[in-house]
């Protein structure tokens, strides 16, 4: 006997409903089956055998579970969902009408959400059902809707995925989401390198010949496979310095292609669109500096929009939002206080902090806390953009230069060290990030003394010890002069341009090799 829940009665009485036409447009596989992929521009690009695709983690989806995927705009969350649909259909895991996808960019009403989900769940399904709810943070009180469905057993045979571009988008614990919070940030250098080197079949993907053209290195198929295997041999900052050193030595014969890959990564950032645009530019003869100008424009527009929309409470001051972005650009990687930054742009500290927090919550910034000799917290901060493409996009807006020109000028200037530092922290934060209870601020900080000495990053290991990391993207370094030692930190690393040694208790290794070694957490896709 079917029992009608209170939630279902409410939905029957309220006629507010997303139109069937909108649902059919959002779910083209209902009518076209797997053929829908041929008409989806993004999927066509991702499935192009000569194209490039970042390898993201697959999830093992179970019924009565809610999976939360959070990350900045443009990192491929929607494309990942569409590829999931195609995979489910091709494997026969689900029938076309077993899958409901909807993007909540325009729909904000919890009533419409409730009505849509109840109507879908009321329909008979051939097996397990799948709810794919994109950018769900835009719906007010979405938690209550999902909680009611879960508590009433309506999701018992349904795997639910919700995505959002807010770090603090929360789904109530105890409602099927335990251990199922994931992040889809911009790709790490390691994942980028693995994705490139995976395309070693000459008939598909980039192919060995094209890899050789791209990297200026004469790989054989066997050598490309060997490098790929070495890239799969992971270590991390939890390991001792000797283990990291030994893994780095194994990778060192490939310093030239890894350096070239790192240069590409430094030019594009970890966004799928910018990476694909760059690689297309190389293949089409546009030149190594080519990235579609629209990508920079779209990125800065998203940043300004997120800065001005104060946590869903309305539109803030667009001009002030732009000033906040400009201020962060001015102080990237520099010890600074919010009081100083707010004073310089002519606003109060509380207002400035609100904008900063909103942008951090939108994955625009990485904000590190300063610490002292005993790792006690200070009021000072260091701010970085969450990807170098954001840095270029804001810098282009500030300077009035096209994005490609600004990025080229910056890479060929003394500012390249700051870009490398930014790329490093964008990778390190993904090592242990799991959920809101273990975000990067629980294991990453920076040290500074009253006399001006600093350590770029302090990483706290699981065993309570700490490692100090200094980025020195230059031709020669010194374990004595280039890093400040403090009593609360036991181990030290210098990330160099191409030096590799372990002496005086300091491991010095090339940035590209370090980034090719460190693994991200299982919750970073």
pLDDT of residue 217: 86
List of residues 6+ apart from 19 with CB closer than 8 A: none
Residue 479 lies in a domain: no
Q: Report pLDDT digits (tens) over 67-91.
A: 999 999 999 999 999 999 999 999 9
Going by pLDDT thresholds of 50, 70 and 90, the confidence category of residue 52 is: confident
Residue 397 buriedness (CB in 10 A; 0-12 / 13-18 / 19+):
buried
Paired tokens of 47: 């499935």
- Predicted confidence (pLDDT) at residue 92 exceeds the cutoff of 70: yes
The torsion of the CA quartet 209, 213, 217, 220, rounded to 10 degrees, works out to 0
List of residues 6+ apart from 25 with CB closer than 8 A: none
Residue 401 lies in a domain: no
pLDDT of residue 283: 64
Sheet with 65-70: list strands edge to edge: 99-103, 129-134, 158-164, 65-70, 181-183
Q: Bridge-partner residues for 123, per DSSP?
A: none
Residue 218 lies in a domain: no
The listed range with the strongest mean pLDDT (101-110, 345-354, 506-515) is 506-515
Q: What CATH number did the domain enclosing 163 receive?
A: 3.40.50.300
- Predicted confidence (pLDDT) at residue 136 exceeds the cutoff of 60: yes
- Predicted confidence (pLDDT) at residue 287 exceeds the cutoff of 60: no
What average pLDDT does the segment 437-447 reach? 88
The answer to whether the CB of 468 falls within 8 A of the CB of 487 is no
Taking CA atoms, 164 is separated from 69, 78, 139, in Å, by 7, 10, 11
What average pLDDT does the segment 149-168 reach? 93
Length of the chain measured in residues: 525
Strand, coil or helix: what is 518? strand
Going by pLDDT thresholds of 50, 70 and 90, the confidence category of residue 484 is: confident
pTM of the entire structure?
0.90
pLDDT of residue 311: 41
The answer to whether the CB of 448 falls within 8 A of the CB of 335 is yes
Domain that holds residue 65: 6-183
What does the radius of gyration of the chain's CA atoms come to, in whole angstroms?
A: 24
What average pLDDT does the segment 273-286 reach? 78
Q: Report pLDDT digits (tens) over 12-35.
A: 444 577 888 999 999 999 999 999
Residue 396 lies in a domain: no
The answer to whether the CB of 99 falls within 8 A of the CB of 194 is no
Paired tokens of 460: 């706290």
Longest dimension (CA), the chain: 77
pLDDT of residue 111: 93
- Predicted confidence (pLDDT) at residue 182 exceeds the cutoff of 70: yes
- Predicted confidence (pLDDT) at residue 453 exceeds the cutoff of 60: yes
Q: Which of 73, 142, 143, 71 is nearest to 306 (CA)?
A: 73
User: Cβ of 436: how many Cβ atoms within 10 Å?
Assistant: 12
Q: Report pLDDT digits (tens) over 95-108.
A: 999 999 999 988 88
Task: For residues 375 and 467, give the distance between their C-alpha atoms in angstroms, rounded to a whole number.
Answer: 12
Going by pLDDT thresholds of 50, 70 and 90, the confidence category of residue 202 is: low
Residue 408 lies in a domain: no
| Total tally of structural domains belonging to the chain | 1
Sign of the CA dihedral running 341, 468, 433, 270: positive
**Angle at Cα 227 formed by Cα 224 and Cα 232, nearest 5°?**
130
List of residues 6+ apart from 462 with CB closer than 8 A: 238, 432
The torsion of the CA quartet 168, 171, 176, 180, rounded to 10 degrees, works out to -20
Residue 97 lies in a domain: yes
Residue 497 lies in a domain: no
Q: Which of 488, 490, 518, 512 is nearest to 499 (CA)?
A: 512
Residue 33 buriedness (CB in 10 A; 0-12 / 13-18 / 19+):
middle
């Amino acid at each position: 006997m079917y029992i009608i829940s209170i939630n279902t009665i409410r939905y029957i009485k309220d006629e507010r409903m997303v139109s069937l036409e909108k649902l059919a447009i959002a779910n083209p596989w209902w009518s076209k089956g797997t053929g829908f992929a041929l008409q989806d521009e993004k999927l066509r690009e991702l499935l192009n055998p000569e194209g490039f695709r970042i390898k993201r983690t697959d999830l093992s989806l179970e019924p009565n579970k809610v999976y939360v995927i959070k990350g900045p705009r443009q990192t491929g969350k929607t494309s990942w969902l569409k590829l999931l649909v195609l995979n489910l259909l091709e494997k026969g895991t689900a029938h076309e009408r077993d899958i409901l996808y909807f993007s909540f960019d325009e729909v904000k009403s919890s009533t419409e959400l409730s009505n849509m989900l109840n109507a879908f769940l009321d329909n008979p399904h051939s097996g397990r059902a799948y709810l794919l709810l994109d950018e769900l943070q835009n719906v007010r009180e979405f938690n209550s809707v999902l909680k009611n469905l879960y508590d009433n057993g309506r999701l018992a045979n349904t795997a639910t995925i919700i995505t959002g571009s807010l770090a603090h988008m929360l789904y109530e614990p105890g409602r099927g989401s335990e251990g199922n919070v994931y992040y889809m940030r911009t790709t790490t250098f390691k994942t980028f390198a693995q994705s490139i080197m995976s395309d070693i079949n000459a008939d598909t993907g980039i192919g060995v010949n094209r890899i050789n053209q791209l990297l200026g290195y004469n790989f054989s198929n066997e050598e490309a496979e060997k490098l790929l295997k070495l890239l799969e041999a992971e270590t991390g900052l939890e390991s001792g310095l000797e283990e990291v050193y030994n893994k780095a030595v194994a990778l060192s014969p490939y310093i030239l292609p890894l350096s070239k890959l790192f240069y590409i990564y430094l030019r594009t950032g970890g966004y799928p669109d910018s990476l694909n645009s760059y690689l297309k530019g190389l293949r089409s003869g546009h030149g190594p500096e080519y990235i579609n100008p629209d990508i920079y424009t779209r990125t800065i527009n998203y940043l300004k929009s997120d800065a001005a929309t104060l946590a869903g409470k309305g539109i803030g001051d667009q001009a002030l939002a732009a000033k906040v972005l400009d201020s962060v650009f001015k102080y990237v990687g520099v010890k600074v206080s919010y009081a100083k930054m707010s004073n310089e742009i002519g606003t109060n500290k509380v207002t400035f902090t609100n904008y900063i927090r909103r942008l951090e919550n939108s994955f625009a910034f990485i904000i590190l806390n300063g610490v002292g000799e005993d790792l006690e917290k200070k009021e000072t901060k260091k701010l970085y953009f969450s990807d170098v493409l954001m840095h270029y996009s804001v810098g282009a807006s500030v300077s009035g230069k096209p994005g490609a020109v600004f990025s080229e000028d910056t890479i060929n200037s003394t500012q390249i060290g700051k870009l490398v530092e930014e790329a490093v922290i964008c990778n390190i934060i993904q090592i242990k990030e799991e959920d809101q209870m273990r975000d990067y601020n629980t294991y990453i900080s920076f040290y500074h003394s009253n006399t001006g000495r600093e350590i770029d990053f302090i990483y706290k290991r699981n065993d309570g010890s700490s490692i100090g990391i200094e980025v020195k993207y230059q031709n020669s370094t010194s374990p004595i002069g280039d890093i400040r030692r403090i009593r609360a930190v036991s181990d030290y690393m210098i990330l160099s341009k191409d030096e590799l040694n372990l002496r005086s208790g300091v491991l010095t290794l090339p940035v590209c090799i370090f980034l090719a070694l460190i693994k991200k957490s299982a919750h970073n896709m």
